[in-house]
Amino acid sequence: MEVRIDKWLWAVRLYKTRALATDACRLGKVTCEGSIVKPSKIIKEGDIYVVNIEQLHKKVKVKQLLNNRVGAKLVENYLEDLTDPLEIERIQMAREFAFEKRDRGIGRPSKKDRRLIEAFKE
């Protein structure tokens, strides 16, 4: 069985649509051993790809080939996630600090509070 990389990325739920997976390949967001992968590349079991999804550099290994999209629970049968845990932690911390959280019911920040928040962000 031969499977294209864009179809496999869509089937294992790394991209919501196949068109998004194709665009990611065309824009150079999918690499194999440091070289950019075209959407029509035929993949093999054991191949390792680096997929850039937003800010996350996800490293995945092809365990098994498939043609059709599978349920989220079955994805682990087809790909092995080799992403560095520090990379995942970095993204989680960036999301936490993307905006400030305020306790419910304390109202809007005062002018002094806003200045402190802005100084902290810088």
Question: Which helix (H) or strand (E) segment is 119 a member of?
Answer: helix 111-121
- Residue 120: its pLDDT value, please? 81
Question: Which residues span the domain enclosing 117?
Answer: 5-121
- Domain count across the chain: 1
- Residue 88: its pLDDT value, please? 86
pLDDT tens string 52-72: 998 889 999 999 999 899 999
Average pLDDT over all residues of the chain: 90
User: Is residue 100 within 8 Å of 115, Cβ to Cβ?
Assistant: no
CATH number (domain holding residue 72): 3.10.290.10
Angle at 51 between CA 45 and CA 54, to 5 degrees: 160
On the question of pLDDT at 31 being above 90, the answer is yes
Instruction: Say how far apart CA 85 and CA 76 lie, in whole Å.
Output: 17
Instruction: Tell if the pTM clears 0.95, that is, is over it.
Output: no
Under the banding of pLDDT at 50, 70 and 90, the label for residue 100 is: low
